[in-house]
Amino acid sequence: MKIVFATNNTNKLKEIQSLVPEGIIIKSLTDINCTEDIPETGETLKENAKQKTDYILENYQRVNCFSDDTGLEIEALNGAPGVYSARYAGPQKNSEDNMELVLENLKNQENRSAQFKTVISLFLDDKQYFFEGICRGVIRLERSGTDGFGYDPIFQPEGYEQTFAEMPMEEKNKISHRGRAVQKLIEFLKNYK
């Protein structure tokens, strides 16, 4: 089975490719010659994920495709950055700037509870399906670790002493929001038809 993953993020692509079993081939946007930035104008993660699969269907006639949208939701910031996680510090979508702004906004906050949420939108054989994964944790006082991407250096998952950026990818994939959503997607695909 071949499925297009509607993302330009090579880190996400590698993460997903490392999780899917043999027999499922994940194609990238580059593989279908899609170089444009797919719009994300929804007010929820689910809307953004659906918007991306719809875009591929409308513009590339690819029936089997999926996309995801992920947000970091911080309790003390009323769920922000949420749907704006990638561009929290501005349209340049710079991870360092985004982390800096989060740390600045949490400077005097004792409550550092947060969660990552991923919503996957799958379009398969003319039907739409959604899968969600959540990973709870806290925002550290400062960055730690060099692996991962995005907010990984400041997010410490519940039950762990390390940030996502300090974990090997295999370990992170077992407990991460994206890993959990992808596991649901994979189970669905394994049992499909």
In sequence order, which residues have a C-beta less than 8 Å from that of residue 153 and are 6 or more positions away?
A: 99, 140, 143, 144, 145, 146, 163, 164, 165
Point out the catalytic residue in the list 31, 68, 69, 152. 69
CB 112 within 8 A of CB 139: yes
| Residue 187 DSSP class | H
Comparing C-alpha atoms, which of 76, 181, 69 is closest to residue 139?
76
Is 31 designated active site?
Answer: no
81 upstream amide cis, omega within 30 of 0: yes
- Assign residue 90 a region (left: φ > 0; alpha: ψ between -120 and 50; beta: otherwise): left
Q: Would you please indicate which residues are annotated as catalytic (active-site) residues?
A: 69
